[in-house]
Structure 1
Amino acid sequence: MTTTPEKLAFSDPLTVRFAGPHQESLLGALVDHDRVEISVPPDAAIDLSFLQLLEAARVYAGTAGRVVSLSRAAEGGLLDLLERSGFLSAMTPEDRRFWLHEGVTP
């Protein structure tokens, strides 16, 4: 296992139809690396299944002593979906660091 972050760039579409392959690549990265940095295109077609996948990865990483992060703060379709689904209204400080990079130093 390595501490060098694995950079995982997801491509459009990030929807339930493609959740299986996205889950496999994310889980594989978490098994082989202590840190995984996820890139989400700002203009991606994205649905709630992808948010659920990222949340499940965060929980798994936390219990396995690993770290999952976004390469940049949520923007575009991802930020819009966070807002529409109610994620933004009940965020903890940890959630705000993960999704919005609040308090994260570059």
Structure 2
Amino acid sequence: MQSSVTGPFTCELSDPLTVRFVGGHQEALLGALLGHENVEISVSSDLVCDLSFLQLLESARVYAGTAGRVVRLSRAADGNLLDLLERSGFLSGMTAEDRRFWLHEGVMP
């Protein structure tokens, strides 16, 4: 994890992002959200992930929203993450807020 004086706190999550390792990732993400108002989650484009990772990110979004925090992905979902979103049904019926979070639609570069 690294922080920037002018930008969000970056929480880098490393592979694999699967149920076996979700506990450690949950601790890292919760620690980042407890310590910083603005958290950016960074993952590799070829990450190994499963539904537990999607659940973790959705939980982080809910927590951030209720705690007055901001959480976002460092870049739009692509590769394995985009494939998982599609296979799991997350892409169908997304709200505008979901599309901003996962796909960066309407987000300024």
Q: Does the Cα contact within 8 Å between 1:61 and 1:68 map onto a contact in 2?
A: yes
Q: Report the TM-score when normalising by structure 2.
A: 0.93
Extract unaligned runs of 5+ from structure 2.
Answer: none
2:29 matched residue in structure 1: 26
Which amino acid counterpart does residue 21 of structure 1 have in structure 2?
G
2:17 matched residue in structure 1: 14
Q: Does the Cα contact within 8 Å between 1:4 and 1:34 map onto a contact in 2?
A: no
Greater helix proportion: 1
* Residue 18 (structure 1) shift: 0.3
Q: Percent identical across equivalent pairs?
A: 75
After TM superposition, the structure 1 stretch with the greater mean CA deviation from structure 2, 2-11 or 26-35, is 2-11
1:22-67 residue CA offsets vs partner (Å, 9 max, x unmatched): 0000000000000100011111110000000000000000000000
- Give aligned pairs, total: 105
Q: Report the TM-score when normalising by structure 1.
A: 0.95
SS of equivalent residue, structure 2 residue 11? strand
1:101 matched residue in structure 2: 104
1:77 matched residue in structure 2: 80
* Corresponding residue to 1:44 among 47, 52, 59: 47
Q: What's the Cα RMSD here? A: 1.3
Q: Give yes or no for the alignment of 1:63 onto 2:83.
A: no
Which amino acid counterpart does residue 33 of structure 2 have in structure 1?
L
* Residue 9 (structure 1) shift: 1.1
Which amino acid counterpart does residue 44 of structure 1 have in structure 2?
L
Which runs of at least 4 in structure 1 moved beyond 6 Å after TM superposition?
none
Extract unaligned runs of 5+ from structure 1.
Answer: none
